[in-house]
Chain A
Amino acid sequence: MYTQPMLESIKVIEAARASKRQPLRLSAEEKKKLLTDFHPDYRESSFHTLQIGPNAGEKAPIELAEMLHSNSLTYGKSFDLTAPPDYDTDVLIIGGGGAGASAAIEAHHAGARVTVVTKLRMGDANSMMAEGGIQAADKENDSPGQHYLDAYGGGHYTAKPELLKRLVLDGPGAIDWLSDLGVLFDKESSGTYITNHGGGTSRKRMHACADYTGAEIMRVLRDEVRCLGIPIVEYTAAVELLTDENGCVSGALLMNMLTEKFETARAKTVILATGGAGRMHYNGFPTSNHYGATADGLVLAYRAGAKLLYQDALQYHPTGAAYPSQLFGALVTEKVRALGAGLYNAEGEAFVHPLETRDVVSAAIMRECGERKKGIETGGQASAVWLDSPNIDFLHGEGHIEKHLPGMLRMFINYGIDMRKTPILVYPTLHYQNGGIEIEPDCSTKKIPNLYVAGEAVGGIHGRNRLMGNSLLDIIVFGRLAGKNAAGKARGTAAGKLSLRHVEDYAKALAQKGIDTGKVSPLLLPDYARKG
């Protein structure tokens, strides 16, 4: 499957592998320079300044700014919001990924009537795709404090301390909760969890279910939501929040994705769990994300007046598949590096320690393929570097890849590449939205009563850079918390009137500034259909 020049280059890698030399870790100054010179987050041309709304004056990725500068896709259409709503519930959960499912389960147990609406099918979500694992400080040599230090430093000291504290203290309990629901974590026969390192961890605290961690968690949570009889409304996107006369959130305007008919949902409290934004293709990057990752939640909340935090901090995962073209952008889990695969350029130089944080490793790869011109040509959109997967079996013995990375192995073998025997080609892929909607420690938004947020749609838990394994953890910890708190709040709240007034106000503000993008938002799905 590899071309002749690739096969030549592999020979150099094999020689380098035998030498077992990996580069030293970079100093704080070296990392800073690498990031400033090569990471897209540090490039001014990637961003526009927001003109209106709570974050006016701050920068946002161009593609997100465009959505925030556009009118609602509902604008100018008329709706009868006084008619009985199509759905009437205590807690409305928008988004059927891991955060939404966790919230649904807890809100149900707290006694609330819960409805989940989701754009595609329940579980068609980034949560289903997480491969590497979930962090929690539950080993003897580890502690929540140590976890805090790793995450806070890895996030360049920008996480909101109160949120991070919740994350690390509730981590072990989250694993226990999942295990009790029947999630099959990798264990030794004694019951001890098998844990590994991930980029930026100082202890082995990555729990995993082979390399299907997210899928295993997601399908169990989805099953539990169904077992509890919680209504799930699939192929139904929230296209705007609805607010009452006091500016409290009172429901959402929905759209059936198949018929494009609008529906209304009235709720006492609403949880946004709409996930990430990879399909916005910021900076033209490919993405590892699912089809519906289009930052809808950010657009809806922003229009209603919620503040965003770190909306300009994106995570490029260093190892997206770069070859063959059919896999372009698909994730090669960090676990491959955690288990011992190094990174090499075309000349067989190991140019960065494979377990630096993601932003640093990504920047280093972009430097090799860009300025240094030491990438391997793939015939596709970008050149690439080698990820030396055979070193895993070399270090841990034959069969290790098959046992611990079955999904990865299968993905490449489909295209005639056996990662046990030959290295694979990688280039950074747009992977995670570090920023999002700003929340209080109880998952509420300060500005908009009755609105809660959980999961990847939140900004601030990880600061400007998230470590692998902390996102799966955050969707469980904060998903559960949002569910409990939204149910609690719903108890003392009467159902409000439904209006789109904030959407009209937003349209006026855009008009006043003379902004007209010619587009509408939220995006809902990318448009990949070839025209003409």
Chain B
Amino acid sequence: MADLISVFFDGKPYTVPSDLTIMTAMEYAGFRLVRGCGCRHGFCGACGTIYRIKGDNKVYFALACQQQVSADMYVATLPFFPLNRRDYKLEELTAEHTVMMRLHPEIFACIACNSCTRSCARGLNVMQYIAYAKRNDLAACAKESFDCVACGICSARCPADISHPLVGLLARRLKGKYLTPAAAHNKKRVEEINNGKHDEPVNGLMQLTQAEIAALYDTREIGG
């Protein structure tokens, strides 16, 4: 068993094994989580967490399900942070140069303090993707923000009240819809299917006995 250490949840000390994550340490301490716990594996952003280590002035940021506890850690969780949504119809937007300016004008109030990047639990260069958005370089913004899990810590720290995760999301959706060439092979297949071209072959397979289809399956060629 790992060493026991002291960690503080909401300022109150608990003794927990040192090899746990913040999330499992809270459970070890007796909390039954409802808020602040979603996927438990680093994908959903439900478990944004802010902490300090005793004697260290720096504030740290993490996902509770991913970060291991350390001695004298003071933990505060941020299960929810309100972002300011803009409603839009993607099909009525275009990727033209004013789209970000119209939907997210607050990004132009960015004072380049870099708090967002410093607080990103995923280590993303958040300020950079906001800078790309300001320039309406949607493709670059989409790429830079791709790993965002929208935990909202960046927005909680931002002096300009930007809702960073929503800016990245909009850039990605615009890029996906408008800035990538269509997949001709996919469109062609969809059309074939709509014209009924593939019904017959599938129906044919459905009519085979199990032995017949098993023979086909076992001898099928593995192709590229």
Contacts and interface: CB of A to CB of B under 8 A. Distances in A.
Interface in A275-292: 288, 290-292
Specify the main secondary structure of chain B where it touches its partner. Answer: loop
B38 A128 contact: yes
A525 B34 contact: yes
A189 B27 contact: no
A54 B29 CA distance: 42
Interface stretch (B53-61, B107-115, B125-133, B145-153): B145-153
Nearest to A331: B41
14 contacts: A124-B44, A125-B39, A138-B185, A148-B205, A180-B177, A184-B142, A204-B224, A216-B146, A216-B172, A220-B169, A290-B38, A290-B40, A331-B41, A406-B147
Contacts, number: 221
Contact of A182 (B173, B184, B206, B213): B173
Interface of chain A, helix or strand or loop or mixed? Answer: loop
B185 A139 contact: yes
B103 to A, nearest CB: 12
Contacts of B40: 290-291
A140 B193 CA distance: 13
A290 B44 contact: yes
B43 A215 contact: yes
A407 B193 contact: no
Interface string B186-224: 110110010000110111111000100110111011111
B1 to A, nearest CB: 10
Contact of B34 (A123, A187, A258): A258
A235 B147 CA distance: 25
Closest 6 CB pairs of A and B: A182-B173, A124-B38, A153-B217, A191-B181, A182-B176, A145-B201
Contacts of B182: 179, 191
A212 interface: yes
Interface stretch (B3-11, B70-78, B81-89, B154-162): B81-89
Contacts of B223: 141, 202-204
A185 to B, nearest CB: 8
Interface residues of A, number: 85
A257 B32 contact: no
B184 to A, nearest CB: 6
A523 interface: no
Interface stretch (A223-231, A242-250, A294-302): A223-231
A210 B189 CA distance: 24
A184 B32 contact: no
A143 B150 contact: no
Contacts of A148: 202, 205-206
Interface in A166-183: 168-170, 172-173, 175-176, 179-183
A129 B29 contact: no
Given A144-B193, A288-B41, 20 more contacts: A121-B38, A136-B186, A144-B198, A145-B205, A153-B213, A153-B217, A168-B202, A169-B202, A172-B186, A172-B193, A176-B186, A179-B177, A182-B175, A183-B176, A184-B142, A184-B176, A184-B180, A202-B220, A219-B150, A410-B122
Contacts of A183: 176
A324 interface: yes
A227 B201 contact: no
Contacts of B123: 410
